[in-house]
Amino acid sequence: MRDLSLHVLDLAQNSVVAGAKRIEISLCVDRAADKLTFVIADDGCGMSEELLSRVRSPFATTRTTRKVGLGIPMMEERARMTGGGLSIESKPGEGTKLTAWMTISHIDRPPLGDLAGTLLSLILMAPDTLDYALRLEGIGEPFALDTRDVREALGGVPLSEPDAVMWMRESLEEAIAPYRALDNEFNRHG
């Protein structure tokens, strides 16, 4: 995968397949530590100890449409290539939390890509049945967008309403712009 937004999309789709009703995605930049961290946490079905021990292998998947599961192994490899790593916490019936971190300035760090478009696409996949909480911190003011709060503010107007979609896109793009500046600073283009 060329950029981090595609990894986020793939890993969040794992949460959807796991039956999650709420998915939390956060991106944190620590310039002093030269570290970029993203976390995807869900309230899905979770993984057994046995599956958790195998999930880092590309030949471990619960999907029936293909025999390989590349999302987690690819993300882990990307993180390791940049001096980072990946951790997974999961319990059956309680959900899963995946944390990946990498060195911001490392030459092999992939660009963020269209993170705003990816997050908006995830929200619009199931705008009435799935909740997302998005958080950005480390550059400028922290940003948070929770679809439960957006629904409440809209007073019954669907998240898929064109004006709501435009507002979410503009809010996400504005919030993510300073983070995309990292890609320009380190000459990463996705």
The pLDDT tens digits of the residues spanning 43-98 come to: 999 988 888 787 766 554 444 443 334 578 889 999 999 999 999 999 999 999 99
Tokens of 84: 């980072």
Cβ neighbours, 10 Å, residue 92: 12
Q: Which two tokens stand for residue 65?
A: 């449409």
Long-range contacts made by residues 127-131, C-beta under 8 angstroms, separation at least 24? Answer: 127/158, 127/159, 127/160, 128/158, 128/159, 128/160, 129/21, 130/16, 130/20, 130/21, 130/22, 130/23, 131/21, 131/22, 131/23
pLDDT tens by residue, 118-161: 999 999 999 989 999 999 999 989 999 999 999 999 998 999 99
CA distance 49 to 108: 32
Cα 93 to Cα 78: distance, rounded to the nearest angstrom: 29
pTM: 0.89
Q: Regarding the domain delimited by 4-185, which CATH topology (the fold level of the hierarchy) does it fall under? A: Heat Shock Protein 90 (3.30.565)
How many Å separate Cα 37 from the centre of its chain? 10
